[in-house]
Structure 1
Amino acid sequence: MQDINTKLRAIPKVDECLRRLESHSQLDHIPLMQKTYAIRNYLQSLRQRLLADDPCPELGKGEAHFTQGLVGYVLSSDKPRFQRVVNGSGVIIHTNMGRSLLPQITVDMLANAAKWYSNLEFDLKTGKRGSRYSHVEDLICLITGAEAALVVNNNAAAVLIVLETLAKQREVIVSRGQLVEIGGSFRIPEVMERSGAKLVEVGATNRTHLRDYEIAINERTGALLRVHCSNYRIVGFTKEVSNEELVALGHQHSLPVIEDLGSGCFVDLKQFGLEHEPTVQEVVKSGVDVITFSGDKLLGGPQAGIILGKKTYIEKIKRNPLNRALRIDKFTLAALESVLRLYRDEERAFQLIPTLAMIADPLESLASKAEVCIAALKQSGLSGCRFQVVDSYARVGGGAMPEQSLASKAVAFTPDCMGLVEFEKQLRGRAIPIIGRIENRQLLIDMRTIQEDEISLVVQAIFEICSGVVNEREGLWGNIKRV
C-alpha cells in the first residue's frame, strides 16, 4: 500500500503537466481547454490503474518518458471522433461504417447545400413559401409508379408515422413470422406500441395463411401490415400470403395494406448472381397502399425513410404533426434528389452509385485490383509479412440478403513480425484506420469494398507497420493505380 501511495504522490499536477508540454510545438494548435481536459483524464486514468494494482511503469521511467506518453495522449484526444475509415471487410452496406457511400455528384450537391442558401422551402415560381418535399416527391413517383410520396429521417420513423396516422388506437394484423428485430434492437412490435396501434399476431412462425388474416379482422382492425424479412430467412416448411392476396383482402374490408420493405431496391439484382429481392416498383404494382423503406441501404442514398403509395393515405400522413418532428433537413434532400435523378437511367445508376457499382463489379476487375496491390507491396520491399491473392466472398450488408454472398478477391496477409491480432489492431489504429477481417489465420482486405485510390493507403500502412518506420516515398504511394 505504501508503494502505491508513493506512486500516487508522484503523479504530477495539471499545472506541472501544462508546463512540461510548452516545449512540444506539435501541440501548439490544440486549445488550452482541450489540453487541460486531456491531462486531467490522463492523470485520473493513472490513479485508477494504480488503485487496481497496475504498476504503471510510465511513472517510474523518468520525466521524459512520462511526458512522451502524455504528449501522445493529448494528440490522440484532439483527433475528431468521427473519421474516415478504409473498408476492407467485404461488406458493401456496412451499418457500423456508415452504410452506403454516396456518388460524387451527390457529394458536390451536399457541398452546395452547405455553402450556399437554397430554395429549401421557397417556391421560385410564386416567390412564396414552398414544400421541401416537392424536391423529391415527383422523382420518387416517376421511378416507382406510386401516386404520392413523403420522406422522413429513417425507416423506423416511417413505420412509426404511418401506423400512428392510419391505425392509432386500432388493431394492426401482422404475420407472426414477420415480427423482426434489426440492428440497434429496433423491433416492429415496440414501434407499433409507440404508435398507439395494437399488434395482432396471426399464423405460425413458419406458416401463415390468408384465412389467418380473415379470422382476425373485426370492427377494431385498422390495417394489415406486411414486413419484408430482409435481414433473415425462414426456410423449409414455410408459407406466406402474397401481396396480391393481402391487398384483395384489405380492399374487401376497406383496410389499408402497409408494407415495411426494409432495404428497398429500385433495380433487379438477379443479374449479379443474387436471389431476387422484390423491387419497390413490383410492390407498388401489386397494389399495396403504403410502402416504407430505407434510403441508405440498397437504394445507395442518404439515411432517410421513404414513404410512398396511394395519395389518399400519403396526404393523411403528411398532415400528421409528427411529420414536423421527423422531417429531413436540406442535406438529406440534396443528397436524395441527386441519387434519385441517377435512377432515371439504370445503366448510369450502376455506373455512378457506389453501392450498385460495388455489387456489379465483375470478378476480373477485383482480381486486377488485387494484383495492383500485390505489385505495389513487392515494389515497396516489404519484409516481415507474407501476402497473396485469395478467393473471397463479399456481402451486400445493411440487413439485406442475409444468406447470399458475392464472389470476390482479397489480399491475404500473414504477418511474421507480430501476432495477427496485434497486426489487425495496428491497422485500425492508423490515422486513416483500415478495417479488414481475420479468416483462416490471415487478415483479408477484400477488394470489393476497396476503392482504387485506397490501395495506396493499404500498401503504405502494411509497409510502415511491418518495417516500423514512416516511409516518405510519396512517389511510390501516390502512383499506385491500375494501368
Structure 2
Amino acid sequence: MSGFRALPSVDQLLSGHPDLIDRHGRAMVTRHARLRLDAARAAIRDGADGAFEAARLPHLLAADLAAMAATRLRPMLNLTGTVLHTNLGRAILANEAIAAASAAMAAPLALEYDLETGGRGQRDDHLRGLLCELTGAEDATIVNNNAAAVLIALNSFGQGRDSIVSRGELIEIGGAFRMPDIMARAGTRLVEVGTTNRTHPRDYQDAITDQTGLILKVHTSNYRIEGFTAEVAGPALAAIARAAGVVMLNDLGAGSLVDLSRWGLRREPTVAEAVAEGADLVTFSGDKLLGGPQAGFVVGRRDLIARINKNPMKRALRLDKIRIAALEATLRLYRDPDRLERRLPVLRLLARPQAEIAVQAARLAPLVAARLREYAVTTTDCASQIGSGSLPTDTIPSAGLRITGTGGDAPDRLAAWLRARDRPVIGRIHDGALILDLRCLERDADLLEALA
C-alpha cells in the first residue's frame, strides 16, 4: 500500500500544474490526470516503484496533453519531387489568396448580398466575371471540385438519357473516381463508342439517337495511349453535337488557364482553347494547374449554366466564403501574365531551373550530413513531376540529396524519423536510398530547422 500512497490525488496533481490548465482547460487536464493515475496504480500492482511512478506523472501528463492538442494537419516539407501532390494538399496558394482567405474568415462579407440594391446576391458572381474574362465563355458556375462539376453537368443534361463517350476516355483517377461510376450516379446511361485506342467521328454519329442527352469528351491527363491511335478533336466533336442538337461537355480535368510551354513544360490544352473549339460546357479544377484552392468550374453557354444553377445539387456542392475569396485573388493574378510565375507558387516551383536547384543541393549536402551523422549524404540529379494526374509521362530535370545508411532498412528508418519531426519532411525511397528532391524547397532554412 505504501507504493500507492506515493501517488498524488487528482486535485494535488492539478494544483501543482496550473500552466497545463491554462493551456488545455481544466476538463481536459482532469480527464487525462485520472487516466495517468489509473495507469500508475496498475504499474504499482505489477511491482513498479510508487515514488518513481509519482515522479514521472507530470511529464507523462504533459506529453499526453501536448499530443492531444497537436494537429495532424501540420505544415510539412514536400521533397517528393511531385509538385502537385494530392496526399499533401496539392497547390500551395499565392500570398494574395492567403490574405484574401484570412480576411474572409475574420469578418462578415457580401457573400450573397448585393451592396448596390441591398437585396440578395449570388455567391458565384464574385468569380463569374473573372472566369468569363479568362476563358472567353459566356457564363460560369462553381462547385467544390472537378468531380462535382462533371457530376452536376451530367445530371443536368443526361439524367434518364444517354451520354456518349469514347471507350479510350473512360478514366479512373485517385480515390476510386471512375467515370462510369460517376455517370451512373448522375443518372445517365453510358454509351461507349470506338475502341480503347481508336475512335472516329462516325462512332459518335452512329450512336446518336433521340435518347442522347450529351456527348462527353474527357481529357486523359493521367495516362497516355501511344502508337496506332485516333481520337476526335474538340472542334469536330462540337460540330457533331451541334448538328444533332445535343450538349457537348469537355472535361479538361487539371485545366490550365495559360500555355505551360512558356515555362518549358509540354503544352496542355487551355480552357480558353476548349471554349473556342465550340464545347458547350467545359469543366476543370481549381487546385491543380490553376494553382488555387480546391474547386470545380463549369464554363460555357449561358443558357446551359442557368440550367445547372437550378439543379438541386448545386446547393449541396457550393463553395464557402473562404475558398471563394482565395479563388478570386488567384484568378486576378492571371490578369498579369508577365508576373504570374513569380506570384503563383505552382508555376514558380515548376519553372525552377535544374541548375539553380543543383547549386542549392551542393550548398545543403554538408549541412544536412552534419545533422544526420549516421548517414551518407550526396548530391544527385533526379526528376520531378507535376502530379495530380497532369502530364503523367513527363518529368522535369531536378536535383536533390541522396541519403544512404547501414542496413537494408536504413532508408525506411530515416524516412520514419523524418516523418516524426515537428515539421515532417517527406521524400521518396529509390534504389536503396532516400531521395530528397529540392524542387519545392525555396528556403534552405526550412529543411535545416526541420532536422534540428
TM-score calculated relative to the size of structure 2? 0.89
Identity among equivalent positions (%) equals: 40
Q: Report how many aligned residue pairs link the two structures.
A: 441
Partner in structure 2 of residue 470 of structure 1: none
The answer to whether the aligner puts 1:244 opposite 2:238 as a matched pair is no
Deviation at 1:92, TM superposition (A): 0.6
Partner in structure 1 of residue 196 of structure 2: 205
Provide, for residues 294-329 of structure 1, a one-character-per-residue CA deviation record: whole Å limited to 9, x for no partner. Answer: 100000011100000111211111122221111111
The change in CA–CA distance for 1:267 and 1:326 in structure 2 (over 3 A counts) is: same
User: In the alignment, is the contact (CA less than 8 A) between 1:27 and 1:75 conserved in 2?
Assistant: no
Partner in structure 1 of residue 71 of structure 2: 80
Candidates 206, 209, 222, aligned match of 1:218: 209
Partner in structure 2 of residue 53 of structure 1: none
Provide, for residues 189-239 of structure 1, a one-character-per-residue CA deviation record: whole Å limited to 9, x for no partner. Answer: 111111111111111112111111111111101000011111111222221
The answer to whether the aligner puts 1:113 opposite 2:88 as a matched pair is no
Candidates 351, 373, 393, aligned match of 1:383: 373
SS at match of 1:261: strand
The answer to whether the aligner puts 1:30 opposite 2:19 as a matched pair is no
The change in CA–CA distance for 1:90 and 1:42 in structure 2 (over 3 A counts) is: farther
In structure 2, what residue type is equivalent to 1:30?
H
In structure 1, what residue type is equivalent to 2:249?
I
CA distance in 2, matches of 1:176, 1:17: 67
CA distance in 1, matches of 2:169, 2:47: 58
Partner in structure 2 of residue 259 of structure 1: 250
The change in CA–CA distance for 1:384 and 1:114 in structure 2 (over 3 A counts) is: same
SS at match of 2:182: helix
Partner in structure 1 of residue 116 of structure 2: 125
The answer to whether the aligner puts 1:143 opposite 2:137 as a matched pair is no
CA distance in 1, matches of 2:14, 2:427: 36
Partner in structure 2 of residue 459 of structure 1: 448
Partner in structure 2 of residue 395 of structure 1: 385
In structure 1, what residue type is equivalent to 2:316?
A
CA distance in 2, matches of 1:445, 1:59: 47
CA distance in 1, matches of 2:236, 2:421: 54
Candidates 89, 98, 111, aligned match of 1:98: 89
In structure 2, what residue type is equivalent to 1:84?
P
Provide, for residues 425-465 of structure 1, a one-character-per-residue CA deviation record: whole Å limited to 9, x for no partner. Answer: 1111111111111223222221111122xx22322343x4x
The answer to whether the aligner puts 1:268 opposite 2:262 as a matched pair is no
Provide, for residues 303-359 of structure 1, a one-character-per-residue CA deviation record: whole Å limited to 9, x for no partner. Answer: 100000111211111122221111111111111111111111212211111001111
User: In the alignment, is the contact (CA less than 8 A) between 2:221 and 2:254 conserved in 1?
Assistant: yes
CA distance in 1, matches of 2:99, 2:390: 28
Question: What runs of 5+ residues in structure 2 fail to find an aligned partner?
Answer: none
CA distance in 2, matches of 1:311, 1:223: 17
In structure 1, what residue type is equivalent to 2:25?
P
Provide, for residues 146-173 of structure 1, a one-character-per-residue CA deviation record: whole Å limited to 9, x for no partner. Answer: 1111111111111111111111110000
The change in CA–CA distance for 1:65 and 1:169 in structure 2 (over 3 A counts) is: farther
The change in CA–CA distance for 1:140 and 1:18 in structure 2 (over 3 A counts) is: farther
The change in CA–CA distance for 1:289 and 1:359 in structure 2 (over 3 A counts) is: same
Candidates 311, 323, 330, aligned match of 2:321: 330
The change in CA–CA distance for 1:23 and 1:383 in structure 2 (over 3 A counts) is: farther
The change in CA–CA distance for 1:37 and 1:282 in structure 2 (over 3 A counts) is: farther
User: In the alignment, is the contact (CA less than 8 A) between 2:92 and 2:345 conserved in 1?
Assistant: yes
Provide, for residues 59-117 of structure 1, a one-character-per-residue CA deviation record: whole Å limited to 9, x for no partner. Answer: 96862697455653442222113221111111111111111000001111111111122
SS at match of 2:249: strand
In structure 1, what residue type is equivalent to 2:446?
L
User: In the alignment, is the contact (CA less than 8 A) between 2:218 and 2:250 conserved in 1?
Assistant: yes
CA distance in 1, matches of 2:432, 2:11: 45
The change in CA–CA distance for 1:274 and 1:39 in structure 2 (over 3 A counts) is: farther
User: RMSD between aligned alpha carbons?
Assistant: 3.0
Partner in structure 1 of residue 283 of structure 2: 292
SS at match of 2:311: coil
- Range with bigger deviation, 122-131 or 276-285: 122-131
Deviation at 1:241, TM superposition (A): 1.1
The change in CA–CA distance for 1:381 and 1:172 in structure 2 (over 3 A counts) is: closer
SS at match of 1:118: coil
SS at match of 1:302: coil
The change in CA–CA distance for 1:63 and 1:373 in structure 2 (over 3 A counts) is: same
The change in CA–CA distance for 1:182 and 1:38 in structure 2 (over 3 A counts) is: farther
CA distance in 2, matches of 1:404, 1:44: 57
Partner in structure 2 of residue 407 of structure 1: 397
CA distance in 2, matches of 1:272, 1:207: 31
Deviation at 1:416, TM superposition (A): 5.9
Candidates 316, 330, 333, aligned match of 1:342: 333
SS at match of 2:240: helix
CA distance in 1, matches of 2:144, 2:283: 12
The change in CA–CA distance for 1:451 and 1:208 in structure 2 (over 3 A counts) is: same
The answer to whether the aligner puts 1:430 opposite 2:424 as a matched pair is no
